Amino acid sequence: MTSSIISSRYARSLFDLSLEMNILEKVNNDMVLVKKVCKENKVLNAIMRNPNIHIGSKKGIVKDLFDSRIEKLSLDFVTLLVQKRRVVFLKEIAEAFLDFYNEHKGIKVSTLIVACPMENEMKDRIIKIFENEFDCKIELVEKIDHSVLGGFRILIDDKVYDASVSNQLLQLKKSFARNLYEKGF
């Protein structure tokens, strides 16, 4: 079975159970934390991937790490992943859970690519424009890319809206490349 299928199935189970138990928001916050910890802690990832480390030790590490920070359901879920030897997919499962949550709440996560950090007022204007266009809530993730030069590029679903200076320069270059002058006599 591929990791995406495994991640999706476990994430869907946790999502459905948390929705049924009326603790969806709390579990969502837990999965944000779990994803962040997995992304930032290389030692934890190495320990969880190591088959020579006993499952009991891994459960202890998980309990020490998350016990007072996440809901009981989330802690039991991560412990179950350790027991079933699926903890290597923890980050992917957390990401899949967040995708299910966003889909359930009607939130689209979009990437805003800019040359330098953008002011919050401008971000709010961009969010408002795209929320009206897509009729959903937009959550922006800002990335810095100096090749943009100025303006911005935004990725929503499979669409790219390019309002960057580099794109405008490219369009200008293409228009100059066409020979507009034709000898007519």
Q: Kindly list the domain boundaries of the chain, sorted by start residue.
A: 3-103, 106-177
Average pLDDT, the chain: 89
Domains 3-103 and 106-177 share a fold: no
Q: What sections of the chain are H helices per DSSP?
A: 3-20, 24-40, 42-49, 55-66, 72-83, 90-105, 120-134, 165-177
| Residue 138: count of CB within 10 angstroms of its CB | 20
Domain 106-177 of CATH type 3.40.30: yes
What pLDDT was estimated at residue 93?
94
Dihedral of the CA atoms 114, 117, 123, 129 (nearest 10)? -10
What pLDDT was estimated at residue 79?
93
3-class secondary-structure state, position 53: coil
Per run of 10 residues, the mean pLDDT along the chain (length 185 residues) is 85 94 94 92 89 90 88 92 91 94 91 89 90 88 86 87 86 78 61
The CA-CA-CA angle for residues 88, 91, 93, to 5°, reads 90
Domain 3-103 of CATH type 1.10.520.20: yes
The span from the CA of 81 to the CA of 31, in Å, is 14
3-class secondary-structure state, position 22: coil
**Is-above-0.85 flag for pTM?**
no
3-class secondary-structure state, position 138: strand
